[in-house]
Structure 1
């Protein structure tokens, strides 16, 4: 086993406890913006397998492709984000600026293998998957969800982690009517570079080649279509 693999296993086991900056924190470093997002509530959309939970959380640390039911408006929103971020490549997307791609398609890789690829190819973008997770976000959200290095980067796992980011953007507050639509949209744009701000540009415009891939008008139209009665 190489030194990189050993380090990754130790990190996932909790030996290395260094705090990884959140995507919102990175946004502040890149663009000088706020580091705060309105979460609305600390309750998770993935509430485990107990009866009555909104989604059933996939089991962590498994090489199987667990299934999780995401439907309705949340599924539509995730599809909109995925279209802006990954296009036709979907769950197997790798950032175009990565000169050295993984040797396997992402959905066949474990999280440990993805981190080995990241560490072995410094100096290039590493956004990966349907929602273009950057390394810091991938590590942080996987840790929060309890996904270990042997977890396959399956569509279900990617969806689960994307829903975590919806929560960070204030999804529950938006649904409860305590966060207005435009604020929620701006929060989403701080997470996903393909989404626009009201000025039409990505929050990360020009950084690592990022740009908004749809207009603010289109973004607003789609959000109104998904949640016609939300403020």
Structure 2
């Protein structure tokens, strides 16, 4: 499939490659690209607006291919969140979604590569995710309330970001905004539809995490 590479902003390559699993329309992938990574995306569904080299496949099957995965410097994964998300309970349909987070963490733990897993905060409260970082759009100047938890493996870092400013903030663009562009644009996902953005995260999250990850990897190379 021809990818719309014209969407990609110019930036210097840091010499590193990251595998982006459950990639969707590339909210996370774009952040890693901005941090300097070469991104390869994997998703079981066609993602015509994902601008990166794309593999349409089952992410867990790809993750189980050790020879393929070890060709990358790091792995990021965003397993579908419906099996843990509170909104799924409200709809009474949690049983309709498999838990893909648990097998993802198990496979990632079998590697020595640095990795990052993203999911809803409830996956840390009630599921297997460890919330090493909990991020919100308002911490990065995005006008959206979008809390997501991140677990890091085989590396870690500590840094401060602005405090979350979403509490009682009436200026935020709501998740279910009917304007076709409003929510996607507020997220910083300007190449997506609103529907795709509702399944994504702001690229600012992985730009921040990816910059730290690149620093870790480059430091490891220097000391090796």
The TM-score bracket by the shorter chain reads: under 0.3
Q: Which has the higher strand share?
A: 2
Structure number with the bigger relative contact order (C-alpha 8 A, sep ≥ 6) is 1
Q: TM-score, normalised by structure 2?
A: 0.25
Q: TM-score, normalised by structure 1?
A: 0.24
Q: Which has the higher helix share?
A: 1
